[in-house]
Structures are given as C-alpha cells and as structure tokens.
Amino acid sequence: MNLTKLFLAYYDCRKNKRKTASAIKFELDYESNLIQLHEEIMNRTYTVGKSIAFIVDRPVKREIFAGDFRDRIVHHFIVNELNPIFENLFIHDSYSCRVGKGTSFGIARMEHFMRASSDNYRSEAWILKLDIAGFFMSIDRTVLLGMIENIIDTKYSWEDSETLRFLVRTVIWNDPTKNCVIKWKRTDWQGLPRNKSLFFAPPWVGLPIGNLTSQIFANLYLHPLDEFIKKTLKIQNYGRYVDDFVLLHPSRELLESSIPKIEDFLTQKLYLTLHPDKITLRPTRDGFSFLGAYLKPYRTYIGNRTKGNFLRAIREWNEKICHCERNEVKRGNPENIRITTYPRSPHRSALRDDETIFLSSVNSYLGILKQFSTYRLRKKMLSQNLSAHFWNEFYVSGGYGKIVRKRRKTWI
C-alpha cells in the first residue's frame, strides 16, 4: 500500500471535518499519525476505533454513528480505490453520493421520465414509487462483502488488493454498538423504530449511517435491483435515490404486476423487504414527491418538508438571539445586544460560533429553493421571519438567493 494514497485520503477527509475534536487531535502531529496508521494497516493490526452515537430528528429521525477521524481516513482510502470501479458498474439513474448526480439531477431526470412515459403529457402514464423497510439496518454484511470481494478479484488491478480486502472486511464487520460513546441522552432513542437502530440488529446485519463507506456500499448493494428492473422487467424510466425508487410507464397493469416480482427479488437475493405503507401507484397527472420536491406535469414545486425545515432553522436562530439579549439585559449590558459586537460575555462567544453555522445553513436552503420558482417564497420567509437584529450584520444578494455578512470598517 502506497503511503501517498493514505495522504490523499487524509486530505480528502480533512476538507469538512477539521473542526471535530478527533480531527484536531490527529492533526497536531498528522505526519506521524499517518505513518503509524500505515504501519498498522500493513501489519494487519489496524482496528476500528470508538464511534460517537447520536440521534438526528431532521429530515427524519435517524441513528448516526460518527467514526473517529483516523477511521474516516481509512473510509476515504477505500472509496478512492473502489468508487471508480463502482461508477463503471452503476446505472445512469442512481443519484446518491455520485459526482454530478445529486438531488437536482435526480429531479431533472424524473421530469424527463414523466414526459417520456406520457408522450410529452399527451397520454396517460403511471408512477410506481417504492421504499425499502429499514434499509441500512437490513443490509446483509455477508452478501455485501461477497459483492465487494468479487469486484476486487475481477476488476481491481492494483497491487493493494490484499490490503484493500483486509480494510473492507475490517470496516464491514466492525460493530460500532460495541465500542461507542452515546452523545446526549439515551432517551433520544425513544420513538425510533427498532428496525432503524443497529442496537437491535443481528450481528451480521446493518451498516452504520454516518460512514462514507456505508453510503457508497449501499449503492452497490442495490445495484442488482437496478439491473433487475431495467433488464429483466424492462422498465427504462426508472431512478433510485438510496432506497427510494420510482418506476414510470404508460401501463398501470405492468407496474402493478411488477410489485410482487420486485418484492420476491429483494427477499430472495438481498434479504430486504418493501415498506408496506410506502407503495404508491398513481397517474402522472396527480404528481408525486421525490428528493424534496413535488413533481407534476409542467411544474415542479419545492416540498413542504423542506419549507418547514427552513422555517424551523430561522426560528431556532431567532430564539438564540432572544436568549442572548435577555442575558445581556440581566447583566446590565443592553448596549451589547448587536449580534457581532462580541463583548466579553460567554453567551456572545457562543452566538458567534453559531452564526457561521446558521449562515451556511440558510444559504444551503436558499440554494435548494433557487432550483424552483420560489422568489416570492424566499423573500417572504426571510423578510417576515428573521429577527430585526439579524439585518444589522447581514444583507441579501442575488434576488433573495444568498445571505452575505456585512463588511465592517477597520479604524487605524
């Protein structure tokens, strides 16, 4: 295994994780740490470190396992080696964790499929939308490992094959529930279905949400399903984002008869089951939701969940400002109420850290909304919901498409 490849994986890993505690600790002496990691891998003594387990509530409630920084480097190395091969295998219309094939691409492809299956909306067509129950927690690790090792044996031509095989096995068979720190409270898990938690999964089943390898391997795991639908069922207007997939065809009967065939394939080949409450068959004229949008003939709308999450993020920010203002008044410092004055108050220091996060969040939502005809919606949500104090430090640019921090004059 070339040490240079590990350094490249490290540089990929550090792009978005430099502020985490494990990343800061690793980077204090990153060259020595990378050399030590390389030696452990070559000596086959590398083991996966401790993960941090926590719950996120949006967009839906999920269990996350965040790996240690050095383990994330290994994940990037594996993906860097295998992903070019995977890309040559995958169909054109799987949209998760692929360069140039994100949510915007997926929505555009679904608009194309609606037109293609309905003769440009001149005839009736049908949409079949399906979902897999507890997908990540139901992935059979033995089946997955067999798929990857077959690819390494037949398509991977570099001399690192045995090292890569060792790392893939180590990552796949690691059980993060046996070596993790629970962040926040155990009561956060209340309301999370058992089939969405690794703590209740059999030892040979399930991948942790939060690892880069889990997302890439999930795409590979459902690749046989993609080929079955397109080559065996011969339904060409088909797209998938992780475990949500949509089939479009002029014949309702064909789509309806495909449901038990898909269910049998999933059960027998991949040991997965369709979610019984998420099987939808409807005409294209009624539209359908996909990737945060609602698609109808001639028009695509932003999804209600995305709008609700954006509004919730704004209200949470307003609450932080109000909380900080109340503390300044209690301390007898009402002159410190402006957002980025940043006096000695610890509450102001915390707010300053949150400000950058919020700015990234709101601009992310605005970037999504700009993909649709939402100028009035963007203007209304920002002008009517953001705290008045926010505008002391920020302004809007690009037709309510971006929030920018005001530049302050420096006096010498």
Name the token pair of 52.
């941090």
Name the token pair of 225.
């399903």
Query: 285 vs 45, 104, 126, 308, CA distance in Å?
Result: 58, 21, 9, 25
182-217 tens-digit pLDDT: 987 878 888 898 889 999 999 899 999 999 999 999
Q: How far is the C-alpha of 75 from the C-alpha of 67, rounded, in Å?
A: 10
pLDDT of residue 399: 86
Helix (H, G, I), strand (E, B) or coil at 405: strand
Do 80 and 12 meet the contact criterion of CB atoms below 8 Å apart?
Answer: yes
Q: How far is the C-alpha of 54 from the C-alpha of 62, rounded, in Å?
A: 9
Q: How far is the C-alpha of 257 from the C-alpha of 281, rounded, in Å?
A: 11
157-177 tens-digit pLDDT: 888 899 999 999 999 999 999
Name the token pair of 111.
């608009």
Q: Is the pLDDT of residue 303 over 50?
A: yes
Q: How far is the C-alpha of 186 from the C-alpha of 184, rounded, in Å?
A: 7
Q: What is the mean pLDDT of residues 372-393?
A: 85
Query: 242 vs 11, 110, 136, 235, 237, CA distance in Å?
Result: 27, 15, 9, 18, 17
Do 137 and 271 meet the contact criterion of CB atoms below 8 Å apart?
Answer: no
Query: 23 vs 33, 49, 75, 350, CA distance in Å?
Result: 11, 13, 14, 21
Q: How far is the C-alpha of 191 from the C-alpha of 23, rounded, in Å?
A: 32
Q: What angle do CA 160, 164, 165 make, to 5 degrees?
A: 120
Percent of the chain with pLDDT over 70: 90
The answer, yes or no, to whether the previous bond of 59 is cis (omega within 30 of 0) is yes
pLDDT of residue 20: 78
pLDDT of residue 395: 86
Q: What is the mean pLDDT of residues 232-260?
A: 97
Interior/surface letters 263-274, b for 16+ CB within 10 angstroms, e for the rest: bebbeeebebeb
Q: What is the pTM of this model?
A: 0.85
Q: How far is the C-alpha of 354 from the C-alpha of 244, rounded, in Å?
A: 33
Q: Are strands 244-249 and 126-131 parallel, antiparallel or unpaired?
A: antiparallel
Q: How far is the C-alpha of 219 from the C-alpha of 93, rounded, in Å?
A: 11
Q: Rounded to a whole number, what is the distance in angstroms from the first to the last CA of the chain? A: 54
Q: How far is the C-alpha of 336 from the C-alpha of 147, rounded, in Å?
A: 60
113-134 tens-digit pLDDT: 999 999 999 999 999 999 999 9
Helix (H, G, I), strand (E, B) or coil at 86: helix
- Torsion sign (Cα): 216, 44, 150, 171: negative
pLDDT of residue 324: 60
Burial of 403 (0-12, 13-18, 19+ CB in 10 A): buried
Helix (H, G, I), strand (E, B) or coil at 403: strand
47-96 tens-digit pLDDT: 999 999 999 887 788 999 999 999 999 999 999 999 999 999 999 999 98
315-358 tens-digit pLDDT: 887 887 766 655 555 555 555 444 444 344 444 555 555 677 78
pLDDT of residue 18: 66
pLDDT of residue 187: 84
pLDDT of residue 408: 63
Q: What is the mean pLDDT of residues 387-398?
A: 81
* Element of type H or E holding 294: strand 293-296
**DSSP conformational letter for 408:** P
Radius of gyration of the chain from Cα atoms?
24
Q: Are strands 180-182 and 51-56 parallel, antiparallel or unpaired?
A: parallel
Q: How far is the C-alpha of 229 from the C-alpha of 266, rounded, in Å?
A: 11
Q: What is the mean pLDDT of residues 130-159?
A: 95
pLDDT of residue 340: 43
Most confident of the ranges 97-111, 249-263, 299-313: 249-263
Q: What angle do CA 43, 45, 46 make, to 5 degrees?
A: 110
Do 294 and 268 meet the contact criterion of CB atoms below 8 Å apart?
Answer: no
Interior/surface letters 76-103, b for 16+ CB within 10 angstroms, e for the rest: bbbbebbbebbeeebeebbbbbbeebeb
Phi, psi of 279 (to 5 degrees): -105, 115
pLDDT averaged over the chain? 88
Q: What is the mean pLDDT of residues 277-288?
A: 95
Query: Where is pLDDT greater, at 126 or 398?
Result: 126
Q: Is the pLDDT of residue 383 over 80?
A: yes
pLDDT of residue 120: 94
1-43 tens-digit pLDDT: 889 999 999 999 988 766 778 888 888 899 999 999 999 999 9
Query: 358 vs 242, 318, 352, 355, CA distance in Å?
Result: 27, 11, 10, 5
